[in-house]
Amino acid sequence: MQATSRLRAFAATAALLAASAIAHAQALPNVVILATGGTIAGAGASAINSATYAAAKVGVDKLIAGLPELAKVANVRGEQVFQVASESLTDDNLLTLAKRVSALAKQSDIDGIVITHGTDTLEETAFFLTLTVHTAKPIVVVGSMRPGTALSADGALNLYNAVNVAASKDAMGKGVLVTMNDEIQSGRDVSKSINIKTEAFKSQWGPLGMIVEGKNYWFRAPVKRHTMQSEFDIDTITALPPVEIAMGYEGVLSTAIDALGKSGIKALVHGGTGNGSVANRIVPNLQKVRADGVVVIRSSRVPDGFVLRNAEQPDDKYDWVVAHDLRPQKARILAMVAMTKTSDTKELQRIFWEY
């Protein structure tokens, strides 16, 4: 009789615990991690290999399993979208990823989305998502500068912070975010500034906030158009027009400009020196490229500052566009997206001011 009573009590306790676990899980936000590879999924030969390693080796399920703390933040599940080092991603990969993010964002049972990504082109993907995915739900792109096998690896905390931000209601409506080195950065503004330190991602305008022990602290909000305010929608984009970059430097020749101008591209970003300066000997070559129907966009290779229109070059006279504060690689992303709708230079200039 006593044994039967004990069994009943045990069963009742187990049922209560199960019900409590279910209620706890139901109360947590639902976050999907879309994995694309990169250093955050990398592995080195030993613990001292922080800069020498193979990227894109660890699958998303293993990344999640290695962070049991995530279970206290959100109901997390993962999808392996790609498994590549980010320098090898293509425009088609961008389209595939953005369309998957958009589809998940439309699901009522999804509260936030995290994308694990290699750091080499992380800023480009983050900006592309900023421009094309229509949602107020948090989208967070995250990577690491050291593989998980290294001493003082940064990936685990970066990923924990990313899930924490993606699960937070206070991150809604702030556009696509990047969480690295305890900072919350705007996906539009942030760029990789160094290749061997964990504080690699910076914005000249500063971070939006910080994450400390799982709590978000916000200090500013993005003012450029993004996500819900964007006139571009990934659900209507089927292909991206070809846009290339030609860099400026001392002694530059017109070789790259001439070749790219004949390659069938729709726009050419010139990554000039200083204020988007263009060497006098290649100005006629850029004018010819524009006369042949290719849009010329004047950017700068300088990390900070912005390009002033009709300074250094008479942009109105030449019918060129200036990239504002976007570095060449981000100017290329915006040009591709914008030119899915227009090739009119006045409209393109408006877009570069607003985004």
Mean pLDDT of the chain: 93
Q: What's the rounded mean pLDDT across residues 118-128?
A: 98
Binding-site residue set for substrate = 86, 119-120
End-to-end CA distance of the chain: 75
Contact indicator for 313, 106 with CB cutoff of 8 Å: no
pLDDT at 13: 45
Confidence of residue 46 (pLDDT cuts 50, 70, 90): confident
pLDDT at 51: 74
pLDDT at 5: 59
Higher-pLDDT residue of 339, 2? 339
- Chain centroid to CA 17: 40
Q: Which domains does the chain have, with CATH numbers?
A: 28-229 (3.40.50.1170), 242-354 (3.40.50.40)
* Catalytically annotated residues: 39, 119
Report the b/e string of 23-62 with b at 16+ CB within 10 A: eeeeeebbbbbbbbbbbbbbbbeeeebbeebebbbbebee
Torsion of CA 328, 126, 234, 339, to 10 degrees: -10
Q: Would you say the C-alpha torsion 162, 222, 269, 302 has a positive or negative sign?
A: negative
The span from the CA of 141 to the CA of 112, in Å, is 11
Helical ranges in 279-327 per DSSP H: 283-291, 315-318
When mean pLDDT is compared across 8-12, 30-34, 191-195, 300-304, the lowest value belongs to: 8-12
Confidence of residue 17 (pLDDT cuts 50, 70, 90): very low
Is pLDDT of 3 > 90? no
The span from the CA of 39 to the CA of 53, in Å, is 8
Is pLDDT of 24 > 80? no
Higher-pLDDT residue of 109, 50? 109
Binding-site residue set = 86, 119-120
According to DSSP, the residues that pair with 277 across neighbouring strands are 273
Two tokens at 181?
A: 């080195």
Instruction: Report the predicted TM-score, pTM, of the whole model to 2 decimal places.
Output: 0.90
